[in-house]
């Protein structure tokens, strides 16, 4: 099975204090520590596990500048077979549709059975997976927390839904899946793996290689534009209820009555 996994280089929130810049146009990016998007990491691990069971290969692809190559190499060190960087100055400022169209152009040059993205990417919008599937006219499932291979034409997927429940679907291949965290436990990337891929060539494809009109992507092609970044004003602090369970229940009922929540 030929699997493509979309990955993205993002600020590591566990290593950074994220602040908005003075203009409110972006976050302060000086001295930020970057890593692969957490959801994408689970997608890569799942792809590797599927390949190990049924054969084939795993390719990771990232849309970004030259620094995005580091996350491509990291996922190759994790176990992906190949990596591709989609990079061009004209890609900067692309919205979700623009990013999806860039990946679509790459997909159409090869034959893939399965494409995976993280459930959350592109600054939390979670758009690219669904848009890519629509552009390719492929089946799509989001929030996937279980994958079972039926045969070379079908897979079963479990989707996380409200209340901790799960829906099970059978989907024709090729398809696009957005992967939820918790589907697996991503493996540790050691120094040996990093050294192994350090000298491997990672092809870089831009508008000319992909056959993309530069005006259709980037800021010129974006139909969704960021207007402002801001930190919401802090409200009043939460009230912590103490006591036994019965005492807390009584206090909660009193509060709800006082605030008009119940009568």
User: Tens digits of per-residue pLDDT, 25-34?
Assistant: 778 888 788 8
User: Tens digits of per-residue pLDDT, 188-238?
Assistant: 998 998 999 999 999 999 999 999 999 999 999 999 888 888 877 777 777
Q: Is the pLDDT reported for residue 11 higher than 80? A: yes
Distance CA 5, CA 263 (A): 53
Residue 40, pLDDT score: 95
**Residue 78 near residue 189 (C-beta atoms within 8 A):** yes
Distance CA 83, CA 60 (A): 5
- One DSSP character per residue, 172-200 reads ESSEEEEEPTTSS-PPP--HHHHHHHTT-
**pTM to 2 decimals?**
0.85
> Domains (ranges, CATH) in the chain?
2-221 (3.40.50.620)
Q: Is the pLDDT reported for residue 124 higher than 80? A: no
What average pLDDT does the structure give for the chain?
91
Structure-token pair, residue 78: 């994790």
Distance CA 143, CA 136 (A): 19
């Amino acid at each position: 099975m030929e699997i493509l996994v979309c990955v993205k280089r993002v600020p590591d929130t566990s290593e950074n204090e994220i602040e908005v810049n003075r203009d409110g146009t972006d976050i302060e990016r000086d001295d930020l520590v970057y890593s692969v998007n957490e959801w994408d990491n689970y997608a890569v691990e799942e792809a590797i596990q599927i390949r190990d069971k049924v054969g084939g290969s795993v390719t990771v692809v990232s849309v970004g500048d030259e620094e995005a190559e580091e996350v491509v190499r990291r996922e190759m060190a994790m176990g992906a077979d190949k990596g591709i960087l989609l990079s061009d100055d004209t890609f900067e400022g692309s919205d979700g549709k623009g990013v999806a169209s860039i990946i679509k152009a790459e997909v159409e040059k090869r034959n893939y059975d399965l494409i995976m993205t993280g459930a959350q990417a592109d600054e939390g919008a979670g758009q690219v997976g669904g848009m890519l599937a629509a552009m390719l006219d492929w089946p799509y499932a989001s929030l996937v927390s279980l994958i079972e291979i039926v045969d070379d034409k079908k897979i079963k997927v479990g989707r996380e839904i409200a209340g901790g429940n799960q829906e099970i679907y059978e989907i024709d291949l090729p398809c696009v899946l957005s992967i939820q965290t918790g589907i697996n436990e991503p493996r540790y990337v050691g120094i040996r793996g990093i050294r192994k891929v350090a000298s491997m060539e990672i092809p870089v494809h831009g508008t000319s290689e992909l056959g993309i009109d530069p005006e259709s992507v980037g800021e010129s092609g974006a139909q969704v534009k960021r207007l402002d970044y801001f930190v919401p004003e802090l409200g009043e602090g939460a009230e912590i209820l103490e006591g036994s369970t019965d005492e807390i229940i009584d206090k909660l009922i009193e509060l709800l009555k006082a605030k008009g929540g119940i009568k």
